[in-house]
Amino acid sequence: MPLGLRLQGVVKRFGEVGAANHVDLEVPSGQLLALLGPSGCGKTTTLRLIAGFEHVDAGTIEIGGERVAGPGLHVPPEKRRVGMVFQEYAIFPHLNVLENIRFGLHRYPAEAREERVKTVLELVGLLGLEKRMPHELSGGQQQRVALARALAPEPAVILLDEPFSNLDAGLRVRVRAEVRAILKQANATAIFVTHDQEEALSLVDQVAVMLHGQVQQVASPQKLYRQPANRAVAEFVGDANFLEGVASGRQVECALGVLETQVAIHGPVDVLIRPENIELIPASAQTADARVRSQLFFGHDQLVTVQTNAGLLLDVRLGPAYHFAFGQPVKLRVVGPVMAYPRSPDRSD
């Protein structure tokens, strides 16, 4: 599959801060990739490097097969085939829908321009609203205008920086599904930046997890959640219990017994057990492995914290129907194979 975008060894420093520390990233044409990471990890910087608003200190960037940044090379933003959608929409308040979309097309062949505007309006479902001013549109519609304007010149890649963070929770779920459908229908290559893991996991083909200026793992949402590449990724994506253990091949021995591992590993390890992979079975005080310490009820599920006889605290995710009283003795059962990582020497938890 041809690549829509490729970053190799991209470095960007701001004084002492390494905002991008050797970023490697590839996005096949027509795919949506989420760049997921905590605030300050370098997501916006990475987008700005791709768009050409920042110069790389090292490494190369290719867009649609064409090198746009590298040693001695910096193609200016307006010459890169990139469309951008920002957090704050960045549509012009004094231009109507049609004019906003047309604005992105000043370098498009004049005779094809109006046809293209119409195609894009139809794609984002705004036909009939051409004459509306931005303040006459809902938040979701404004976001679609921004997307239409970015898509109009047929860029090789679309960059979206936290595009849904201005929308309230109810609207966000709907608008992001719409945006995904529009990008897919346009067969666009897109990167979208978010610090919201649910948004990343539910929306894209591939997720790239960025921590401290480095891409730690690129994987499908399912694989990322089930097989995080390292402990830091496991802790950032989803909830994680960690136990010390000793592994031998596909087995690991830890405080919860001998468990099967997803991949073979040997020696001292940290064992990852997701809260939903632990079952609680009511027990007598004599046979109990643990006792219930707290319970957070969310409706669709609940998070129960138990303390093992050895004093270890573990989070357990259960359906809403279970009720465990405070202090209730329970047995623990781990369901399914677990992940294990070489023990990090500097950790004591």
Ligand X SMILES: Nc1ncnc2c1ncn2[C@@H]1O[C@H](COP(=O)(O)OP(=O)(O)O)[C@@H](O)[C@H]1O
Nearer to ligand X, 69 or 314 (CB): 69
Q: How far is the CB of 42 from ligand X (least distance, A)?
A: 4
Residue 37: name its binding partner from ligand X, Mg ion, none (Cβ under 5 to 8 Å by kind): ligand X
On whether the CB atoms of residues 107 and 153 are closer than 8 A, the answer is yes
Between CA 249 and CA 271 the distance in angstroms is: 14
The Cα-based distances of 269 to 82, 87, 114, 163, 254 in angstroms read 44, 41, 62, 39, 9
Q: Interface with ligand X by CB under 6 A: which range of 13-21, 132-140, 227-235, 320-328?
A: 13-21
Nearer to ligand X, 193 or 224 (CB): 193
On whether the CB atoms of residues 179 and 147 are closer than 8 A, the answer is yes
Size of the site for ligand X (CB under 6 A): 11
Between CA 280 and CA 278 the distance in angstroms is: 7
Q: Interface with ligand X by CB under 6 A: which range of 12-20, 26-34, 136-144, 224-232?
A: 12-20
Q: How far is the CB of 236 from ligand X (least distance, A)?
A: 13
Specify the pairing of strand 66-70 against strand 58-63.
antiparallel
Q: Interface with ligand X by CB under 6 A: which range of 41-49, 121-129, 260-268, 281-289?
A: 41-49
Q: How far is the CB of 312 from Mg ion (least distance, A)?
A: 36
Binding-site string for ligand X from residue 234 to residue 253, where x marks contact by CB under 6 A and - marks none: --------------------
Which element (helix H / strand E) includes 299? none
Determine if 197 is a binding residue for Mg ion (CB under 5 A): no
* E strands present in 43-89: 58-63, 66-70, 73-74, 82-85
Question: Exposed e or buried b for every residue in 28-43, given b needs 16+ CB within 10 A?
Answer: ebbbbbbbbbeeebbb
Between CA 257 and CA 272 the distance in angstroms is: 14
Provide the β-strand partners of residue 269: 245, 342
Between CA 183 and CA 158 the distance in angstroms is: 9
Q: How far is the CB of 159 from Mg ion (least distance, A)?
A: 12
Binding-site string for Mg ion from residue 26 to residue 45, where x marks contact by CB under 5 A and - marks none: ------------------x-
On whether the CB atoms of residues 253 and 217 are closer than 8 A, the answer is no
Between CA 30 and CA 124 the distance in angstroms is: 17
Q: For the segment 88-117, give every residue that binds ligand X (CB under 6 A).
A: none
Determine if 286 is a binding residue for ligand X (CB under 6 A): no
Q: How far is the CB of 182 from ligand X (least distance, A)?
A: 24
Nearer to ligand X, 195 or 274 (CB): 195
Among 6, 43, 116, 231, indicate the residue that binds ligand X (CB under 6 A).
Answer: 43
Determine if 19 is a binding residue for ligand X (CB under 6 A): yes
Q: How far is the CB of 195 from Mg ion (least distance, A)?
A: 8
Between CA 144 and CA 263 the distance in angstroms is: 43
Among 1, 2, 16, 39, indicate the residue that binds ligand X (CB under 6 A).
Answer: 39
Cα angle vertex 161, ends 157, 164, to 5°?
115
Residues engaged in binding Mg ion (CB under 5 A): 44
Residues engaged in binding ligand X (CB under 6 A): 14, 17, 19, 37, 39-45
